[in-house]
Structure 1
Amino acid sequence: MTRALLLVLAACACRETVDHTDPIAMDDPFRHDRASGDELARIEAAAAYSEAHGGRAFMVLRGDTVVYEAGQNGYDLTEPHHLFSGTKSFSCAAWAVLQRDGLLAAEDDVRAILPGLSADAAGLTVDQVLHLTSGVKQDFWGLTRDGLLVEQRIADKGQRAIELPFVHRPGEVFGYGSADYFLFGEIVQARAGRDALQVLEDDVFAPIGLRTAGWQHDPVGNPMLPYGAWTTAGEWLKYGALVRDDGMFMGERVLPAGALHGCLEGSEANPAYGRTFWLNRDVDRDVALVAEHRLEPEGPLLWNDGPADLVAAAGHQDQRLYIVPSLDLVVARLSDGDRKFRDAELLELLLATP
C-alpha cells in the first residue's frame, strides 16, 4: 500500500464515506461448470491464497464457462464491493465507443477540446491522457481523497483537473493518479454531449448486462472515473470477458475489433501501463508506479513467468481483474486488502504448470 493510500484511509476514518451495498442477484449468460482435475487443484490453491490474504470473492471464467466461484471470509457473491482504481479500466471502453462513433481520435488535440487547459499542455493528445503521460500535476487530496467522502469540498472535479498546472511535457513522464481520468471525463462530455458513465451504461454495460450497485459522483454530477464503481465479482467478470474477446460478448459484436485490445498497449514512458490497464511488461523501476511492493521487483511487472498478454485492472485493497486472452481466461478477485498479498504469488499458483 502506498503512503498516499495510507493517508487517505486515515483521513477518511474521521469523515463519512460513500457506500453502495444493495445486493446484486447472480445473473449472467455464462455456463457454470466447476473445473476438475489438475485445473481445479490450481484454482483452489490460488483461491486459498486469495482467502488467506483478505479475499472476499474469487471467480474464474474460462471461455464462456465459470469454472470456479466462491465467496470468501464470510462474503456473499451478491454483495457489491468498491472497485476503487479497478474502475479506471472501464474508461478504455468509453474511449472505444467514441472512436466507433467518430467523435474522438487518439491524436486529437486536447487543448482544442478543453481550451481552459494551461498553455503548458500544448501538444497534449487524447492518447497521452489515457496512458497517464499528460504531464499534469496530480492532485491527490482534491481529486482522490475528497471524492471518497459524503461531504466533498471540491464540487466540480472536472473543472479542478482542467485548472491544474502541467509539470512535465506531454508524453515524457508517466504519472499515476486521478487527474487524467477527470480530464478524460471532460473530453467525453465535450465530444459526446453526455458523461462517460452514461456512455458506458448505454453502449457497454447494457449490451453485456453488467450491473453496478452505484457509482460515486462529485457534487455537480461528474462520475468518478478513477475510482467510483461498486459491483460484484460476477459483474466485473462480464467486462473482463468483453476485453478478453476484443469487443465480442457471447458471440455478439459490442465494440469494434481492435478497439479494446488497443488499450493493452503501453507507452514509451511506461511500457507496463496501457490505456487504463496494467500490462505484464518490463519497465524501468525508476518510473513512479503504484503499490510497488505487490509487483515484481524486476522483469515483467505482474509475474515474471506470466504470459506476455496477461493484463490487469487493479484497485486499492487488492481488487483485481486478470485477463489472459491467450488462455481464454478471466479472473475476478475482490478483497479487503492484505499487505502480504503479491500478484505473482497468486498467479503462479493459478497458472504455473509442472
Structure 2
Amino acid sequence: MNKLTYVILILVTSFLSCSTDDAITKEESNNNATYFPPLNSNSWETTAISDLDWNENHVQPLLDFLEEKNTKSFIILHHGKIALEAYFNNHDDSKLWYWASAGKTLTTTVSGIAQEEGLINLDNKVSEYLGTGWTSATLDQENLITCKHLLSMTSGLDDSLGDDVSPENLQYLANAGSRWAYHNVYVKMQDIISTTSNQNWSDYFNSKLRDKIGMTGQWINLGSLSVYWSNTRSMARFGLLIAAQGTWEDAQIISPEFLTEAANTSQNINKSYGYLWWLNGKDSYHLPQSQLEFNGKLIPNAPNDMYAALGKNDQKIYIIPSKDLVIIRMGEAADGDNFALSSFDNDLWEKLNAVIE
C-alpha cells in the first residue's frame, strides 16, 4: 500500500467513524428528548416497558395493588411518553375526578405566572392586594402576612376553625412566618390574582395555564373552596409541564427559576414543604393538623429528589427528575381518609421500585 492510499484510507475511516458516532449521539438525544402530546388531541405516544429495561414481571402485582387500594386511574410518564396507563373501578380516560389538595400546585404555578407578568410580587403583603380587613387579626398582625406566607403555609392564622376563609374565620394565632400549619387560606392567592388581572380566577387560569398545555377540566366551588376536576391525562399534562421546567414544546409557560424555588424548602419549620409542593429527601417533616416534627424522609421508599402534589384521599402527582418520571394516581382513599400523605405513598413506592429499578 503506497503512502497516498494509506492516508486516504485513514481519512475515510475517520469520517465514517465520526458519522456513526454523530448518528448514535443524535439517536440517544432523540430518545431522551421530552415528548409533549398535541394540544387538541387525545393521542399520546407510548413507550414499551420492555424498552425501558424495567421488570415486567412486577407490573401486574402493581396493578393488582392499585385496584385493591380503590384506585380509579394511574399513569406513568417517562420522558413525557406513557409507559403505563390503567383504569379501575368503573373509571375511564374520559371521566373526571377531583384533584383535592393536589390542585394547590395549580395555584402555585399560576401565582408564578402572575408574578412574571408583573401583576403581583410574592414578597408583598396580602393586604396590598385585598385591602385591610381580609382577616380578623389586628392591622399590624395582618400586615405581616405576605403572598409567600400563603404559599408556604406560614400565615400564622388559626388552622383549627374549618375551611371557611371569610374574615371572621381567619383569626390570628401567631406571627406570620413563625408557625407552619396546613390551611386553606392559600386560596386567597386566587383572589389576589383575580383582583390584579381584572379577570375571574377560572378565566385567568384557563388562558395562562390550562389551554396552553391542552388540559381540560374545570374549577368547581365546594363551599368556600374551589376544587379542580379533570380527567387523568390532564393531571398528567400538568405534571409533565412541571417536570419539563415550565416548558411546553417551544413555549416557556412558567419560569424554571420560579419552579426551582417552589420545589425547594420554603421556610425553616417544615423542611419538606415548598410552595404547596411536598418534598422528599429531607431529614424531617410536618403533617397537616399537627405541630409535631417527624424525623426522616417524607416517603422513605421514594427517590430523594422526588417532589409531589398530594391531595385528600390519595390524589397524587409524583415528579422524579433523576428518573425522568411523572406518576399520577387518582381515586378513593386507599385506606382511611387522609388530608395528603398516607401510608399508601410508601407502600405504592415499594411496588413501583420493583418495576422501575
Q: Give the TM-score band, short-chain normalised.
A: 0.7 to 0.9
| Distance (whole Å) between structure 2 residues aligned to residue 141 and residue 175 of structure 1 | 13
Matched, 1:217 2:221: yes
TM-score (norm 2): 0.76
Letter in 1 for 2:195: A
| Distance (whole Å) between structure 2 residues aligned to residue 66 and residue 315 of structure 1 | 22
* Cα distance, 1:41–1:239 mapped onto 2, change above 3 Å: farther
**Partner residue, 2:177:** 171
**Partner residue, 2:12:** none
More helix by percentage: 2
* Cα distance, 1:326–1:139 mapped onto 2, change above 3 Å: same
Q: Deviations over 1:172-208 (max 9, x none)?
A: 1111121222x21222122222233322210111110
- CA drift at 1:300: 0.9
> Which fold has the larger relative contact order, with Cα–Cα distance below 8 Å and residues 6 or more apart in sequence?
1
**Partner residue, 2:318:** 322
Identity %: 21
* Cα distance, 1:325–1:91 mapped onto 2, change above 3 Å: same
Gaps of 5+ in 2: 1-39, 337-342
> Which residue, out of 83, 87, 111, partners 1:95?
111
Q: Deviations over 1:77-102 (max 9, x none)?
A: 21111122122111111111111101
- CA drift at 1:237: 0.1
- CA drift at 1:43: 4.5
Letter in 1 for 2:249: M
| Distance (whole Å) between structure 2 residues aligned to residue 190 and residue 124 of structure 1 | 18
Bigger shift: 116-125 or 322-331? 116-125
Letter in 2 for 1:299: G
**Partner residue, 1:18:** none
Please provide the CA RMSD for this pair.
Answer: 2.7
Q: Deviations over 1:235-269 (max 9, x none)?
A: 10000001111111234322223222321122212
* SS of equivalent residue, structure 2 residue 120: coil
Q: Is the 8 A contact 2:281 2:303 kept in 1?
A: no
Q: Is the 8 A contact 1:322 1:330 kept in 2?
A: yes
Matched, 1:128 2:149: yes
**Partner residue, 2:21:** none
Q: Deviations over 1:29-68 (max 9, x none)?
A: 6312332253444554433322111111111110121011
Q: Is the 8 A contact 2:284 2:294 kept in 1?
A: no
Matched, 1:79 2:95: yes
| Distance (whole Å) between structure 2 residues aligned to residue 67 and residue 95 of structure 1 | 31
* Cα distance, 1:166–1:130 mapped onto 2, change above 3 Å: same
| Distance (whole Å) between structure 2 residues aligned to residue 129 and residue 140 of structure 1 | 17
Q: Is the 8 A contact 2:280 2:297 kept in 1?
A: yes
Q: Is the 8 A contact 2:74 2:87 kept in 1?
A: yes
- How does 1:21-40 map onto structure 2 within 5 Å? 27-28=41-42, 30-36=44-50, 37-40=53-56
Matched, 1:138 2:143: no
**Partner residue, 1:116:** 133
Matched, 1:300 2:260: no
* SS of equivalent residue, structure 1 residue 330: strand
**Partner residue, 1:104:** 120
Matched, 1:344 2:338: no
* Cα distance, 1:140–1:75 mapped onto 2, change above 3 Å: farther
**Partner residue, 2:10:** none
Q: Who wins on radius of gyration, i.e. which is larger?
A: 2
**Partner residue, 1:16:** none
Letter in 2 for 1:263: A
